[in-house]
Structure 1
């Protein structure tokens, strides 16, 4: 009924009267119903419900419009699930352990927030910070942390990058996590005797993520 009233070229009340089988109501009664619904309900006994129908229909249309607007503007973003991050950390930790290195491994999300971290019981306490810093650096700049270190070595004027954020650790061992051309985080390893060895372990964790995604 509400849809029929809204589609009608007549006023809502007139359309409602017709649908209720009362097209013969006088013009004065119709005006009363349009302008004074409470008076109409008392004197004629039928229009209050129609006006209420009209108000409900208008409110429903407003709510539908608001919901539609919200649905169109909400962004969609890829993210790295915690469960996968933990598996990648374990894979990198195992790789270094198998190679005889006691390390810490960290994974951060696209915003540099820690998702998962694990430390070998024999790894130095400093490796907790270094693994996080390498992961943070790679997630932030979108490049391996070792590549950034090489760039600074070749171009000393970039040395100021080290002071941009205290969380940056510009040493080898960090890799950006890119899935389907979208950067979703970074992985960092600290504790092996050389950045290239840390990076090899980080690569093991990254490979697991990419295999799972594909």
Structure 2
């Protein structure tokens, strides 16, 4: 069975991620992609810089490329970081988190706009945590 993310799930992840950053005092954007890297949901807080949209998408794409959260990918593959960052549409920075259902990656969320990728990742993880119950019970 091929597992796919619903539009509703993608929107809920993006909304919760941006709200988490907002609650922490950051203006950020969140982009949710499906398991092949196609954008499913985009949310930009009112004052988030427009460039945060591309950075968030590229962080999510790094998850799809590597199969792990972007922070783990960055730490594990320092040897190829400059080369990976030359691939259009991929950014090897913290802030991309996998969305998993029944052990399989069904997508990823990338966040950009907080002062540091570590904070972006906290917001991205909050987005996934918001829907974790639905993911845990996915068939």
Is the TM-score greater than 0.5? yes
Q: Which residue of 2 aligns with 1:91?
A: 16
Unaligned ranges ≥5, structure 1: 1-75
Aligned residue number for residue 97 of structure 2: 175
SS at match of 1:184: strand
**How far is 1:157 from its partner?**
4.8
State the match for 2:75 in structure 1: 150
Q: Deviations over 1:149-180 (max 9, x none)?
A: 22343xx35532223x3000111000111111
CA contact (8 A) 2:81 2:92 kept: no
* Corresponding residue for residue 159 of structure 1: 82
CA distance, structure 1, for counterparts of residue 85 and residue 19 of structure 2: 30
Name the SS of the counterpart of 2:42 in structure 1: strand
Other structure's SS at 2:56 match: helix
Number of the residue aligned with 2:117? 195
Residue 125 of structure 1 deviates from its aligned partner by: 1.0
Cα distance per residue 1:46-90 (max 9 Å; x no partner): xxxxxxxxxxxxxxxxxxxxxxxxxxxxxx300000011101111
The separation in 2 between residues aligned to 1:162 and 1:110, in whole angstroms, is 20
Q: Which runs of 5+ in 2 are unaligned?
A: none
CA contact (8 A) 1:104 1:190 kept: yes
- Cα shift at 1:212: 1.8
Aligned to 2:27: 102
* Runs of at least 4 residues off by over 3 Å: none
In our comparison, the structure showing a higher alpha carbon Rg is 1
CA RMSD of aligned residues (A): 1.3
State the TM-score, normalized to the length of structure 1: 0.61
Look up the SS of the partner of 1:131 in the other structure: helix
Residues 88-139 of structure 1 deviation map (CA, whole Å, 9 limit, x = unaligned): 1111111100000000001000010000010011001110100111111112
Bigger share in helix: 1
- Structure 1 residues 110, 87: closer, same or farther in 2, change over 3 A? same
**Scaled by the length of structure 2, what TM-score is found?**
0.91
Matches within 5 A, 1:14-163: 76-153=1-78, 156-157=79-80, 159-163=82-86
